[in-house]
Structure formats: C-alpha cells, structure tokens
Amino acid sequence: MRTSLFWVRIDGAIRDLTSSEVTVVNTCARAVFRFTHSPSYSSYEHISTCTFLTPKKVALRKQYVRQVEMLICAEPLTTKLRCLADGTWQTLYIAG
C-alpha cells in the first residue's frame, strides 16, 4: 500500500481457498475494504472470486482517506454481503 498527496493505493491479489469438497456449499473468497474518509463518512469496496486457487487482481485507489481496514471471509456469492457483521476488521493504514 502506498500513499501520496491524500491518495491511498492498494495492489495485490486474492485467492479462493475453499472448495466444495471441503465445505458443504460452494463458497467464494471475499476481501472487503473499508475506507474511512471522515468521522461521518466511510466507503466500502469488495472483491470476490469463486475460482479455486486462481488469483484475482486487486487494484484500488481512493482519495482523502484517514483509515483503511480489511475483512476477509468466505461465503456463498449472493447479492448481500453477510460477512460484514462477522469477523474482525484488520487495520491496514492510519493517516499520521
């Protein structure tokens, strides 16, 4: 992750490590990023992949970010992200 003039850039890849042989239902890997811009405004970006072991590139760029957090989960691919209520957010960046 690099920062420059209030920009935050995230580059990487996610892989789906779940398979139907291990889980009862076919699940997908999800990476959810929470960008805090101000105390009253946050935005979210999510990347999903359902292809076992095949990397999916992540390239995000946001402006005027105070904090970046990430949540990784595995769940069936639906229109609603259910994993936002579960798990622990990991802090990736806090503006100094």
CATH number at residue 47: 2.60.40
Domain extent, residue 73, equals 2-94
pTM over 0.85: no
Contacts of 76 by beta carbon, 8 Å cutoff, 6+ apart:
25, 26, 27, 28
Q: What is the pLDDT of residues 34-91, one digit of tens each?
A: 999 988 999 999 898 888 888 899 999 998 899 999 999 888 777 677 777 777 899 9
Domain count, the chain: 1
Please give the Cα distance from 45 to 34 (Å, whole number).
Answer: 7
Contact (CB, 8 A) for 29 and 74: yes
